[in-house]
Each structure stands twice: as structure tokens, then as C-alpha cells.
Amino acid sequence: MSANSAEPRVLPLPLLDHHSAGRSAVTCEYRCGNACAHDAPNESDNSYFGDLVRGVVNRRGALRAGAVLSVAAGATATAVGTAAASPGRGNGHGNDSGAAAVGTDFDPVPPNTQDRVVIPDGYEQQVVIRWGDPVLHSAPEFDFWNQTPEAQQTQFGYNNDFAGLIPLDRAGIHNLLVVNHEYTTETHMFADYDPDNPTEQQVRTAWAAHGMSVLLVRRDPARGGLSPLPSWYSRRITLRTEFELRGPAAGSELLKTSEDPSGTRVLGTQNNCAGGVTPWGTVLSGEENFHQYFAHADQVSDPETRERMRRYGLGTGSSTRKWERFEKRWDASREPNESNRFGWVVEVDPHDPNSTPVKHTALGRFKHEGATIRTADDGRVVAYMGDDERFDYIYKFVSSGRMKNGRSAHARRHNMSLLDHGTLYVARFSGDSPASEIDGSGELPSDGEFDGSGEWLPLATGDTSHVPGFTAEEVYVFTRLAADKVGATKMDRPEDIEPNPSNGRVYCALTNNSNRGAAGHAPVDEINPRIGNKHGHVLEIRENHDDPTSTGMSWGLLLVCGDPEDAGTYFGGFDDQVSPISCPDNVAFDRHGNLWVSTDGNELGSHDGLFAVPVTGPERGHVKQFLTVPNGAETCGPIITDDIVTVCVQHPGENGSGPSDPGSHWPDGGDSQPRPSLVAVWRDHGHRVGEIGRR
């Protein structure tokens, strides 16, 4: 579909309506098991446009206030090219030349609530693959009203999140595409679903809709877009696929069950969130909110086991999906070790559809958002990881072995073993400003930055624990408790963490934390500087000597997100005409080193989106919105190349009441049911993404 359609590009948002386009209640229930149940989804009191009717003169000055008001005016226009879409000028922090940073030269998409993917002028888009489309050759045509587990295990799964693209040729024409399927929303998947009495067929279909998909795709260099191709690479990984547990905790008594007395084999992967493509051509995927799938943790007799389950969020009573009725492994009182077999980083070799995927125990067990790799000068590899929970931690793993060059099967096998031997660390941060200057408002301290230093605290190396009172196996299986013990810094939901290949710095999305500074919870500190942090922030880490194996670092906040007219926001020192951004989730980089951020749960009254922001030069901090997603949807798993940008559009329509009254009809329109999908966006006429006039 071309971006240059006859319909208006942006619908006006009401200035006085305090409408929240954050997560729906059903998304909270099925995606994370209501981990933030005491929050109020869809009840934001800080609508971006509503705030503009109040005074807009603040620490950034009247010049910038006028620019942001131009954004509001542009929201009622039929084109994106408004005064606010031009680069910042003339305040001493913007780019006086008026030139956008290379890779970010596009007209920003204003905030909007359209039920479609809205993209900049001069770009085109295509739905690459939707829930239910064929992955395997044997897949039948998708039939929403007659789903079966046999069909779903051959079709593209539900709620796609991370996507990785692995070129198979120098031109990047043929690529392997690997996509996570994070979770299922049964009340929206099945027309006749009864949450109190799911059928076995519905349950088994949901098992098949979890996991991952591997496909061969072709990029069209002339017309743009990506097209799936029939291929021997094609693969569906589900909750019935066998995984191998590897690393120092494999075979532990803590991982053994009645079905697997060896403690080395697990059926399936679930709640796979973000991930990363390794330098050796495999894909890492993080198992995140696994806790919600298990029932009856309160009926476990051993008090130590109950406490460990509580720290990982396992609930009391029945689970939301009632899977425990059909397999005992989902009943924590009957199989107390089964939950210990989830919450790992998994690795898949997409080049070999017959290979057994791996769960790496050396990388620790928690609610992994994902894992991404940086290679040190000496060949060791470093994996960066976040635990997506309020007040949990940031981790890294440093291998003891060194990477072999090349993409041969032999090299991949060797390099996949690197993540089984090394040291697991957790981060502790300190600020460099007086505590009295961190007042919880988000206002900068007197030195003009939220910044400081930090250290990586070792937790375990191989069979050696560095945590008093913990064995090495206990460190790996109950990593959260070990990190508690050593005094790691409690963070505001650390999600995707990735090293920037251009400058070597590491960027972490901290999505939000409504309980920061509340009674009975951790107070604000310089690295988490806002009370009731509902918009989140982006952290920039600089390893000492630019060495990722170092145990020391410095850090600064690149973005303190929210309404740019709020004095409690910060955009890397760039003070002109930035796009409003809320709840950063996934991060990615283009070839120029620009940071791209996708959002989840926008609390500013607009739909979630994808944003580009330079991290160096005069445009550092100049946030520009590249796209927005449809009603009820989240923007996930961005891939950024010279030729194409892709995003996973997750849970569209979950703001509605289900199949009888869906909240969206995207992507097929009409009266169709919404379907999570992967979308590709590219410049028209063969131009490069974000580079005006360049092919």
C-alpha cells in the first residue's frame, strides 16, 4: 500500500479529551498475567494534546512552545509536512544548518489514533505475513472460525514480537526471517471461548500459536517489500518442540521433573519477547512472563520453594488459561520444578531446521526481555540482558571462550557453545549529583545531566558462585534472589538492551514504573529520577575503556520520555521540536548508529509507534516519530536497514471486546478480525531509508 493515498493521513485528536491509548486490560491479563494489576491501563491523566491548552512556557522557552503547538495544528492537516516536521534550529542545542542527521531525514508522523499503520510521506508499506498465514508447505488456508492445533503448528503464530533478519547473500535479497510469538489472547483468538471452560482443542491450538517462526523471505530491490518463499528453512517452533538445556545448571536437581528426570530436555518455549541476531548467524530469544502459565503455587508444600516462586511472580489458584487441566506440568503443586525450566535465553539456528534449540542456563533465569551480543577485541562475546519487571535488574554475561570467524556449521556449533561458559554479572549504578537535587520531578540536577558510574557485580562463573549462601546452580536458576543478595540497582522495567555497533555504547529501554517512589517501594535515584514514572526513559552505558568485558562503566540518560513540554522530560540536550514519546520498549540501530525505539503502552493519548533519534552530533536527542500502529496495538521488534524497516504489530484490536466487537479491523479491513502481523516500510523510487535523494 502506498503512503500517498487519498484518505487523510492524520485524524484530529480532541484537545480537551483526556484519552489514554495505553494497554488494554485484556492485554495486561494475557500478555503478562496482570503484573501491573494495581496500575490503571487506559486511564492516563496526561494526554499530550490536552496539556497543550495549558501554559506551555517552561524551562525550554517560548520558541519551542510555538514549535510544539505547530505539531498540534499539524494533527488536523491532510499531510505530515508541517512546520513542526522540520529539524530544530537556533536555540544552541539544535542543528543550526537545519540538516537532519543522516538516516533520520523524513517528515515525522504526528501523534494520531488511526486504525492503520501511518508512515511518512514518500514511503510505502506492505503486510509481509499475518497470524495464520502459511509457514510450512502443508499449511491450510487460515480459517478464523475453525482453528485446529494441526493447522496452527504449520501457520504463522500469534502476537509476533521480536523479528530478526539474516542475509543469505551480499545484496541482502534473500534473507532468513525469524519471528517470536510471545503470547496468545484466547478471548480474541476464538469466537466461542469460555475463559472458565476452555476446550482441549483451543488449548492445544494456543500451544501451537506460541513459540517462533522461521521463513525464507525475498526483498524486491526494484519495487520494495519482502515476500515469504517456500523453503526447506521453514520451521515452526511451538510449546511441543523439544529444547536442550545447556550450561552449568543443566541436569540440576532443580530442573528435573517426572517427565524429564535428566533435567536436560524441555518441551517448548513461551512468552518469547525481544531477542537478537548473533554474529554467527543464530537468533537469541528471551522467555519473559512465563510465571502466568503456572497454577497453584500456593499449594506447594515446601516454604523455600513457595518463596522462590513468589519472587518470580507465580500466582495462587488457577491460571488464566487453565492449561493445568490438560497437562500436569502447568500445575506448580504437581510439578514444582517445571517453572524453573522457563525464563531462559534460548538460541535457535535458523540455518538448520532439524537442529535442537537450546536454553542457555549460564545466562541466568529471570523474565528475560531478550539478549544481544557484542564481541570484544579479544574475541570473547558479551550478552546484555534486562529483567522486565518493576524494580528488577540489568545483567550481562562475558564468555570465557573466543568466537570463531565464519558462518559455517562448524563455526556456528562452536560459537553457540560460547554462551555456556563464562561469568554472569548484575549492574549496580550510582549517580554523581547530590540526592537533594533528585526530587522525583524529572528536572535535571545542577550539572545538567542525569549521569554517574556503575559496576558489574559477578554472580557466578561456571560451577563457582560469587554470592554468599548460594550454590552456582542456585544462582543460575534463582538469579533474581542472587541479585537481591548482592545489592543490584532496582530499575524501572529494563527491557531491550543493545550495543550500538557504531559507537560501542549500550542502550537500554526502561519502559515505566508507576510505583517508583510510592510508599513501601524504592525511592527515586539519579538513574530512575521520576516518581510514578509512567513514560519511561532510555539509558546509555559506556563501558570503561570501551571494553565490554570491563567491570566498570559510566552512564547517562539519553531520554527521559514524555510530553516534550513537560519540564520533567529530557531529550539528550536537544531542545527543539521533538516528537512526544512514551514507554520505550525495543531498541535497534541503523547503519549510521542512530537509535530507533519502539513503544509499548503510550500514555500520551496517541497510538504506539517507532521513533528515530541520533545519539551523536548536533542532532543528538532529536526524537522523530517514523510510524504509528493501529488500534490497540503495540510496536515490536524493529529491523532497520538501508532499504527497509520492519515492525511487528502486536495485539491489534485488544482494546475491543473480542470477535463480536473487535477494537480493530487491521490489516484486512472491512468487518474482518484483527490479525497480528509483520509490516515492511520502504522509501519509494528505490531511495534509502532516512536519506533524501540517496539510492
The secondary element (H helix, E strand) that includes residue 372 is: strand 372-375
pLDDT at 71: 33
Residue 549 banded pLDDT, cuts 50, 70, 90: very high
Q: What number of residues does the chain have?
A: 695
Residue 228 has pLDDT above 70, yes or no: yes
| Rounded distance between C-alpha atoms, residue 33 and residue 26, angstroms | 10
The secondary structure of 561-593 as a DSSP string is -B-TTSTT-EETT--SSPPPB--EEEEEE-TT-
pLDDT at 115: 98
pLDDT at 685: 84
Residue 686 has pLDDT above 90, yes or no: no
| Rounded distance between C-alpha atoms, residue 646 and residue 679, angstroms | 5
Residue 593 has pLDDT above 80, yes or no: yes
**Mean pLDDT value across residues 673-681:** 98
- State the burial class of residue 494 (Cβ atoms within 10 Å of its Cβ: 0-12, 13-18, 19+): buried
**Mean pLDDT value across residues 69-80:** 30
Domain membership of residue 27 (yes or no) is no
User: Into how many domains does the chain fold?
Assistant: 1
CA 664 to the chain's CA centroid: 22
Domain membership of residue 1 (yes or no) is no
Identify whether the C-beta of residue 349 lies closer than 8 Å to the C-beta of residue 282.
yes
Q: Where are the alpha helices (DSSP H) in 417-529?
A: 472-477, 479-486
Domain membership of residue 236 (yes or no) is yes
Residue 692 banded pLDDT, cuts 50, 70, 90: confident
pLDDT at 22: 66
Domain membership of residue 644 (yes or no) is yes
Q: What rounded mean pLDDT belongs to the chain?
A: 88
State pLDDT tens for residues 265-304. Answer: 999 999 999 999 999 999 999 999 999 999 999 999 999 9
**Mean pLDDT value across residues 472-500:** 97
**Mean pLDDT value across residues 585-591:** 98
Residue 54 has pLDDT above 80, yes or no: no
Domain membership of residue 271 (yes or no) is yes
Would strands 123-130 and 265-267 be described as parallel, antiparallel, or unpaired? unpaired
pLDDT at 694: 59
pLDDT at 242: 98
Domain membership of residue 317 (yes or no) is yes
pLDDT at 462: 98
pLDDT at 32: 79
> Cell numbers of 560, please?
527521559
| Rounded distance between C-alpha atoms, residue 604 and residue 578, angstroms | 14
Closest by alpha carbon to 507, among 414, 411, 648, 621? 621
Identify whether the C-beta of residue 491 lies closer than 8 Å to the C-beta of residue 510.
yes
> Cell numbers of 255, please?
530442573
Among 79-93, 203-217, 417-431, which stretch is predicted with the lowest mean pLDDT? 79-93
pLDDT at 33: 76
**Mean pLDDT value across residues 253-270:** 98
pLDDT at 29: 81
Domain membership of residue 523 (yes or no) is yes
Full-model pTM: 0.89
| Rounded distance between C-alpha atoms, residue 388 and residue 585, angstroms | 10
State pLDDT tens for residues 427-464. Answer: 999 999 999 999 999 999 999 999 999 999 999 999 99
State pLDDT tens for residues 643-654. Answer: 999 999 999 999
Identify whether the C-beta of residue 336 lies closer than 8 Å to the C-beta of residue 308.
no
State pLDDT tens for residues 329-364. Answer: 999 999 999 999 999 999 999 999 999 999 999 999
Residue 27 banded pLDDT, cuts 50, 70, 90: confident
pLDDT at 99: 83
Residue 320 has pLDDT above 90, yes or no: yes
The single residue listed with the C-alpha cell 486490560 is: 25
More confident call, 99 vs 462: 462
> Cell numbers of 460, please?
557466578
pLDDT at 107: 96
Residue 221 amino acid letter: P
Per DSSP, 495 falls in state E
Residue 36 banded pLDDT, cuts 50, 70, 90: low
pLDDT at 70: 31
pLDDT at 57: 28
Residue 38 has pLDDT above 60, yes or no: no
pLDDT at 58: 35
**Dmax (CA) of the chain:** 69
Residue 98 banded pLDDT, cuts 50, 70, 90: low
Identify whether the C-beta of residue 444 lies closer than 8 Å to the C-beta of residue 450.
yes
SS3 per-residue string spanning 145-165:
CCCCHHHHCCECCCCEEEEEE
| Rounded distance between C-alpha atoms, residue 109 and residue 77, angstroms | 11
Q: Note down the domain range covering 478.
A: 138-689
Among 2-16, 371-385, 470-484, which stretch is predicted with the lowest mean pLDDT? 2-16
The secondary element (H helix, E strand) that includes residue 265 is: strand 265-267
Percent of the chain with pLDDT over 70: 87
Domain membership of residue 297 (yes or no) is yes
